């Protein structure tokens, strides 16, 4: 099996896996980074969202070979210098999570939105976040706390 060098959360990790294996399973099963969640496997729910070169991607449909070309950030690597990301701080402050399972994906998508737009409108939020499902229905607080995180950052 091929060997890939992955840049994950600022470290270089070497993995020896099938080149078609989606990044999600490399992260979870091989690297033990289980904060990235499996929700649907077909890029419908967003629970597996990570950043590759700062852009949100669905790791369940991203081949490891493609991901190896960029810098990967997962929820475990979102905090910088021991400081939680503004989204993470706002999420805690606003008591956003219920079961919490989808929230790593929600936060990765939201963080990417805020990186390019610190003051998103409701429509901007809808457009960015439509791909992330929350079955607990925390949408009102996600909307509110994205705006709050924009103010914090």
Partner 1 sequence: MSVIYKVTRRDFLRDLGVGTGALVLGCSLTPEASAKLPSVSELIHGIPVPDVPFVALKLNGDVVIITHRAEMGQGIRASLAAVLADELEADWSRVTLRQADADSTKFGVPFPYPIPPETKLGYPYNRARGTRQFFILDPDVAQFTDSSRSMAAFYVPMRLFGAALRRAMVMAAAKKWGVDASECYAEQHQVKHRGNEHRPLDYKRLLLGAQKVPVPQYDELQTWLKKPAEWRFINKEKMRETFATDATAMVTGQVQYAGDFHIPGMLTAMIERCPVANGAVKSWDDTEAMKVPGVVKVMKVSIPTPLGPGGVGGAFIPHDGVAVIAENTWAAWQGRRKLKPTIQWDLTSPMAADNARYDSTEYRRTLQESTSKPGRPVRWRGDVDGALGGTTVEAHYYVPHLAQAPMEPPVATARLAGDHLEVWTTTQNPDMAQQMAGVVAFGIPYDNWELEKTKEEMRKKVTLHMPLLGGGFGRKSKPDYVVEAAYLARENPGIPIRVQWTREDDIQFAYYNAVSDQYLKASLGADGRPTALLQRSAFTSLFGTLFPPPRKDFTSEVNTYYREKRRDFRLGGEYPYGSSIERSQGLEDMPFNVPNLRIENNPAPNHIRVGWMRSVANVYHAFGICSFADEMARAAGRDPKDYLLDLIGTGGILALEKEHVEQNYNNEFPIEKIEVPFSGSKVFQVIPGYPPDTRRLRKVVEEVARISGWDAKKGTLPKGRGLGIAAHRSFLSYVALVLDVSLGDNNELTVNEAFCAIDCGLAVNLDRVTAQIEGGINYGLSMALLGEITVKNGAVEQHNFDDYPVLRIDHAPRKTTIHIVQTDLDPTGVGEPPTPVVAPALANAIVAAGGPRLREIPFRKKIVV
Q: Tell me the two tokens of residue 108.
A: 């990765």
Q: Angle CA(143)–CA(99)–CA(126) in degrees, nearest 5?
A: 20
Note the helical H segments in 1-153.
Answer: 23-25, 64-67, 86-93, 103-116, 122-129, 139-152
Judged by CB under 8 A, the chain residues 38 through 97 that form the site for partner 1 are: 38-42, 44-45, 47, 74-76, 78-79, 84, 87-88, 91-92, 95-97
Q: Based on CB atoms, which residue is closest to partner 1, 39 or 150?
A: 39
Q: Based on CB atoms, which residue is closest to partner 1, 122 or 151?
A: 122
Judged by CB under 8 A, the chain residues 101 through 130 that form the site for partner 1 are: 101-104, 107, 122, 125-126, 129-130
How far apart CA 70 and CA 56 sit, in angstroms, is 12
Place of tokens 């709050």: 148
Could you list the residues that contact partner 1 (CB under 8 A)? 1, 18, 21-22, 25, 28-30, 32-42, 44-45, 47, 74-76, 78-79, 84, 87-88, 91-92, 95-104, 107, 122, 125-126, 129-143
């Amino acid at each position: 099996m091929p060997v890939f060098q992955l840049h994950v959360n600022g470290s270089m990790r070497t993995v020896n896996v099938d080149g078609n294996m989606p990044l999600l399973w490399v992260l979870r099963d091989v690297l033990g980074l289980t904060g990235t969640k499996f929700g649907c496997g077909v890029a419908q729910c967003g629970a597996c969202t990570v950043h590759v070169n700062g852009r949100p991607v669905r790791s369940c449909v991203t081949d490891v070979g493609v991901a190896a070309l960029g810098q990967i950030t997962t929820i475990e690597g979102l905090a910088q210098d021991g400081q939680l990301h503004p989204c993470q701080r706002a999420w805690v402050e606003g008591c956003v999570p219920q079961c919490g399972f989808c929230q790593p994906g929600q936060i990765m998508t939201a963080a990417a939105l805020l990186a390019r737009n610190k003051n998103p409108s409701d429509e901007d939020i809808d457009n960015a976040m439509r791909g992330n499902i929350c079955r607990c229905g925390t949408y009102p607080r996600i909307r509110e706390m994205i705006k709050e995180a924009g103010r914090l950052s």
